[in-house]
């Protein structure tokens, strides 16, 4: 038995720990959640677990098509993207930095928050307490403190995706099966250390490596959307959170003209801050 077969058998044993009638697959159409879809439908031949997606209005066309074809139920968010932007602001630097920025822009000035903004805070008799974890980068800090930063918030993800699932769980009593992997980021590595979260969501892929996932996809010829030829991860079209890898510009150049205009209008203030060139479109890449 090779490592792929061993992993799949181990994953099968993990699924035996849950009552399928009490869980649903949170299906985004991306590589991780689609692997779980394949495992549930093709490997386990499970027809009981419900496949549930959210149409956030911000998916790439290939990913949305996949969701529409495979999901048993498509949820819709209560708020649309521009409603969220108007009320809360738009994403810019990273989820955790944007959370600090949003709190500051709303008037919060607690020592804890200011330490994350400056990297230090004065406590007691002018003693200084420092932090090197989760502090604003210099660009974010300078623009924020000089009042030159637009209205920033990470809440679009919350209201476009998390809230619809939350309401679904409240209505059905079901818990999510999540295709999250601890190796995707340091934060996820600290968050997902076992098959179950504190609130009993099922995260069976928490220890699956990129290398082994690729071997599984190759061995079983599992379909990979062509957009992955150009970007490593998919999410909301043109999200600034992909800018540090240079993927936001690539995504923009893959979009149709109408979707490109929509995305630029939504994120343009953040694009300007991050120096993402959205005004000059390269020759469109073909999704072969």
Q: pLDDT tens digit string along 214-261?
A: 999 999 999 998 888 887 777 899 999 987 777 888 889 889 999 999
Return the bridge partners of 196, or none: 202
For the cut 50, the answer to whether the pLDDT of residue 182 exceeds it is yes
Taken as a whole, the chain contains a residue count of 288
Rounded Cα gap, residues 34 and 67, in angstroms: 9
For the cut 50, the answer to whether the pLDDT of residue 287 exceeds it is no
For the cut 50, the answer to whether the pLDDT of residue 185 exceeds it is no
What is the full DSSP assignment across 36-83?
HHHIIIIIS---SSEEEEE--S-S-HHHHHHHHHH-SEEE--SS-HHH
Antiparallel, parallel or unpaired: β 50-54 and 127-130: unpaired
Name the phi and psi angles at 30, rounded to 5: -80, 180
**Rg of the chain on CA atoms, in Å:** 21
Under 8 Å between Cβ of 28 and 67? yes
Eight-state DSSP code of residue 227: G
Contacts 24+ apart (CB under 8 A), 131-136: 134/96, 134/97, 134/100, 136/93, 136/97, 136/100, 136/101
Name the phi and psi angles at 267, rounded to 5: -110, 0
What is the full DSSP assignment across 180-239?
--GGG-HHHHHH--SSB-TT--B-TTTT--HHHHHHHHHHTT----GGGGT-S---STT-
Q: In percent, how much of the chain has pLDDT > 90?
A: 71
Q: Distance from first CA to last CA of the chain, Å, rounded?
A: 35
Looking at residue 188, its pLDDT comes to 47
pTM of this structure: 0.87
The pair of structure tokens assigned to 27 is 């299906």
* Averaged pLDDT, 121-134: 71
Q: Which residues, including other chains, have CB under 8 Å from residue 172's CB and lie 6 or more apart?
A: 24
Report pLDDT digits (tens) over 95-123. 999 999 999 999 999 988 998 998 877 76
* Averaged pLDDT, 185-205: 73
Longest dimension (CA), the chain: 66
Query: What is residue 167's three-state secondary structure?
Result: helix
Under 8 Å between Cβ of 175 and 22? yes
Under 8 Å between Cβ of 176 and 202? yes
């Amino acid at each position: 038995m090779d490592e792929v077969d061993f992993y799949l058998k181990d994953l099968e044993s993990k699924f035996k720990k849950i009552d399928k009638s009490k869980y649903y697959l949170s299906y985004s159409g991306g590589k991780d959640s689609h692997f779980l879809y394949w495992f549930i439908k093709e490997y386990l031949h499970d027809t009981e677990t419900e496949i549930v997606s959210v149409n956030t209005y911000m998916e790439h066309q290939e990913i949305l098509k996949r969701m529409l074809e495979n999901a048993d139920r498509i949820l819709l968010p209560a708020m649309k993207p521009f409603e969220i932007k108007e009320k809360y602001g738009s994403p810019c630097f990273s989820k955790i930095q944007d959370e600090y920025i949003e709190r500051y822009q709303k008037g919060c000035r607690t020592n804890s928050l200011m330490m994350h903004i400056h990297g230090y805070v004065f406590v007691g008799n002018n003693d200084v307490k420092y932090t090197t974890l989760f502090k604003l980068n210099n660009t974010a800090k300078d623009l924020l403190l000089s009042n030159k930063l637009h209205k920033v918030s990470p809440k679009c993800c919350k209201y476009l995706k998390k809230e619809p699932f939350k309401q679904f769980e409240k209505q059905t009593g079901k818990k999510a099966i999540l295709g999250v992997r601890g190796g995707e980021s340091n934060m996820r590595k600290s968050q997902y250390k076992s098959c179950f979260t504190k609130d009993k969501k099922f995260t069976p892929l928490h220890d699956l490596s990129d290398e082994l996932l690729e071997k599984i996809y190759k061995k079983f010829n599992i379909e990979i959307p062509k957009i992955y030829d150009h970007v490593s991860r998919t999410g909301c079209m043109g999200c600034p959170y992909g800018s540090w890898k240079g993927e936001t510009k690539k995504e923009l150049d893959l979009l149709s003209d109408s979707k490109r205009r929509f995305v630029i209008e939504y994120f343009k203030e953040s694009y300007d801050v991050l120096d993402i060139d959205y005004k000059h479109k390269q020759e469109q890449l073909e999704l072969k």
